[in-house]
Amino acid sequence: MTATLESDEIARLKEQVRKLEAINAALMDRVERASDLHGGAFSMFENAITLEAMVRGRTNELEDAMVRLATINAQIEAARNDADAARARLRDAIESLSDGFALFDAEDRLVMCNTAFLAIWPEFHDLVEQRPSFADLVDVLAGNGSAVGSLVAPERWKQERLARHRNAGAHVQLLSDGRWLQINELRTSEGGTVSIYTDITSVKAEDARQRARELAERNLALQSTLDTLSEGACLFGPNGQLQAWNDELANMLHLNRDVMAVIGTHGQFVQHCISRCRLDRPQAVEWREGRGPRISTDCMLGSRNFVIRSVTLASGGMAFAFDDVTDRIRFQKSMTEVAETLERAVKQRTAELVEVNRQLAEAKDEAELANLSKTRFLAAASHDLLQPLNAARLFVSALHEKRLAASTRGLVGQASIALDSVEDLLESLFEISRLDAGAIQPEIRTISLDRMLSALRIEFAPLARSRGLAFSVAETGLHVSSDVQMLRRVLQNLVSNAIRYTAAGSVTVSAQREGDRVTVAVTDTGPGIAAGEQRVVFEEFRRLEATRKIPGHGLGLAIVRRSCAKLGHGVALDSAPGRGSTFSVTLPAADADVAAAATVAARGAKTAPASGAILVIDNDEAILAGMRALLENWGHRAITAVGPDRPEVRAAAEAGLSLMLADYHLEDGLTGDIAVARVRAMHKGDLPAAIVTADRSEEVRASLAAQGLPVLGKPIKPAQLRALLRQLAVPA
């Protein structure tokens, strides 16, 4: 490219010199032919001087151009010498390469090559001077079969070789004389191609030797692996020839040392297994192609049991494995016999257990029936006993309101105390029977422990003061998960017992949280309980010798034990004679933010005029008489009836009532809530009402609570009745 630029510059300078010579000749000719017809000698002199100056300037320019031309010619000659030297050096460098080198121009014609290239392709010696194209060279190779590919399919090989040359990459080619060439082709910036041909025959040979060594090592590893197997194994190649086996296979098939002579092919292997070893399933060793693994179980080779596994290899061969399972099958048979013996024994024992379970179920049914009968009896007896007891309580309360002599008032007080004792005993018995029968089902919810303990403080503080005891209940800030009624009953029994059996000192109620559990403890300074007696105090009617003279029935702790068991709470006792006792209940803790807030059902305004009468409905005449006497002593007008359909009830309802009290169980299956509904239908305006009953079942109480009807339990205590009257805004 530099030589082209220099040639252009020389041509331009020559053209410029030619123009200057032409101008100079024209000027000289003009001077010589010009004549001054009118001027003198001075004018001609001036013209001559001017022409001389112009000629001298042009001559100087011509001399400068000639100098520049000579300089450029010298530079061109030096560049030619340098280019020749560079070409010589390049050719020497190319010739020094041990690899074959060839350079093709943009038209894909051979520009130059080295001797190593011609040594690889001697058929190109006569073509180099003709600057052949790459396609011409490929035609020569395809024609003489120099490459292995050209021997098989010359045209296809030719097309593939030209395509690789166009794509200019690297590939390996095998020559027909056994040599291997690695051909690397690279595009030049002018569009030509540089090709490097490297003889890698020695590398290929070393690679083949390495592969042979690896294959030998793999075969050795395979044989070592086969020899370590407890199973017999053999491997056949794609041609059905035996390639590998282990000694265990030879032992199983009763082969001598010349294994190849006996089972060298797959056909011999199958024939030997069938004829010599009496294989009962020939298909277990048949050749299978492309069907995946196969397992044949319970095959017999002579007197031995075998499991034969065969698999088709990716190379087309087959692998077989023989597993002698004779001992295993014999062991399984023996185990089967043992299992059958055990099964017979188990069946016999099961039959015996079924009979025992049947007897136990019958005994359990009898016990449950007896317990249910006991519960029904206690419920009926309690109801029947509470009816007259309620009447007696009402009569005693009414009598207590009278002005009596001191001796008579003392007798009335003793009668009231006796009634209290009988009432407590009946209530305790009834509660125990309901707990045993499962009639009480806990309703677990979140409870504020401080609210419950505060109620205990208010309830028992007067009793503790009357006995001269210090009574303290701690502020805990805790919440627990339990049933409100049952937990209150448990704590009431524990506090009541502590105050009852403590002669002097104090009773303390505290609570402590540990993890997700809360322990409520009732501690007293009473006489204490010996270790041998601590278990029996939770049994029914158990009284200790030290507290036998103190009034009580021995049922409070029995109720505590049953209630805690029903709730899933733990109950414990820590005591020793002379240092008091601590009864504790452990129950689940609850978070304060989920504490259920008690909601009060809106019952409407139930305030009745103070002048209205109080209607009492009960099917027991004695109770009606007692209620009438008690209410009249308090200044109320009482109207009593055995049912809501009596004429006096209708007249009283139309006249206006301030309160209605109805027994739950009335005559002819009528219930108190129905009686209240009938009377309210006849009454003008709202009528407050309450139910009086000896039925303590949860179903009855839940049904009445859903209707917004308060409940008074029989026998009625005057204080409870007064509280109800105040709650319903009835003066008492």
* 436, pLDDT greater than 60: no
* 62, pLDDT greater than 80: no
Least confident of 108-122, 448-462, 514-528: 448-462
**Which tens digits make up the pLDDT trace of 702-722?**
888 888 888 887 767 776 777
What span, in angstroms and rounded, lies between the C-alpha atoms of 65 and 445?
A: 120
**Which tens digits make up the pLDDT trace of 548-559?**
445 544 456 777
Report pLDDT for 36: 46
- The arithmetic mean of pLDDT across residues 6-32, rounded, is 71
* 309, pLDDT greater than 80: yes
* 417, pLDDT greater than 60: no
- The arithmetic mean of pLDDT across residues 108-124, rounded, is 86
* 611, pLDDT greater than 50: no
Report pLDDT for 553: 46
Least confident of 214-218, 390-394, 562-566, 598-602: 598-602
Report pLDDT for 153: 83
* 429, pLDDT greater than 80: no
What span, in angstroms and rounded, lies between the C-alpha atoms of 135 and 141?
A: 10
Q: Structure tokens of 32?
A: 């010589």
Closest C-alpha to 710, from 729, 727, 698, 697: 727
**Which tens digits make up the pLDDT trace of 141-166?**
888 888 878 887 888 888 888 888 88
Against a cut of 0.85, is the pTM above it? no
Report pLDDT for 178: 81
Backbone angles phi, psi at 477, to 5 degrees: 70, 20
Report pLDDT for 604: 37
Query: Which of the two residues, 225 and 211, has the higher pLDDT score?
Result: 211
Report pLDDT for 530: 72
Report pLDDT for 555: 55
What distances in angstroms separate CA 446 from CA 478, 527, 590, one per listed residue? 10, 36, 6
Report pLDDT for 619: 84
Percent of the chain predicted with pLDDT > 70: 72
Token match 């000719």: residue? 29
- The arithmetic mean of pLDDT across residues 30-35, rounded, is 57
Token match 């004679």: residue? 577
* Confidence label for 39 from pLDDT (cuts 50, 70 and 90): very low
Query: Which of the two residues, 415 and 465, has the higher pLDDT score?
Result: 465
* 328, pLDDT greater than 80: yes
What is the per-residue burial (b if ≥16 Cβ within 10 Å, else e) of 503-515?
eeeebbbbbeeee
- The arithmetic mean of pLDDT across residues 283-310, rounded, is 81
Residues 622 and 389: beta-carbon distance below 8 Å: no
**Which tens digits make up the pLDDT trace of 632-687?**
777 788 888 888 888 888 888 888 888 889 988 888 888 889 888 888 888 877 88
Query: Which of the two residues, 490 and 92, has the higher pLDDT score?
Result: 490
* 456, pLDDT greater than 50: yes
Total residues found in the chain within this entry: 732
What span, in angstroms and rounded, lies between the C-alpha atoms of 551 and 433?
A: 22
- The arithmetic mean of pLDDT across residues 607-622, rounded, is 70
Report pLDDT for 362: 79
* 38, pLDDT greater than 50: no
- The arithmetic mean of pLDDT across residues 252-261, rounded, is 81
Report pLDDT for 356: 84
pLDDT, the chain, mean: 76
* 250, pLDDT greater than 80: yes
Least confident of 279-288, 525-534, 612-621: 525-534
What span, in angstroms and rounded, lies between the C-alpha atoms of 659 and 689?
A: 6
Q: What is the DSSP code string of 300-362?
A: EETTEEEEEEEEE-TTS-EEEEEEE-HHHHHHHHHHHHHHHHHHHHHHHHHHHHHHHHHHHHH
Pairing of strands 657-663, 613-617: parallel
Query: Which of the two residues, 408 and 151, has the higher pLDDT score?
Result: 151
- The arithmetic mean of pLDDT across residues 452-469, rounded, is 80
**From start to end of 19-177, where are the E strands?**
100-104, 110-113, 170-174
Report pLDDT for 396: 63
Report pLDDT for 276: 78
Q: Is the dihedral of CA 667, 669, 672, 674 positive or negative?
A: negative
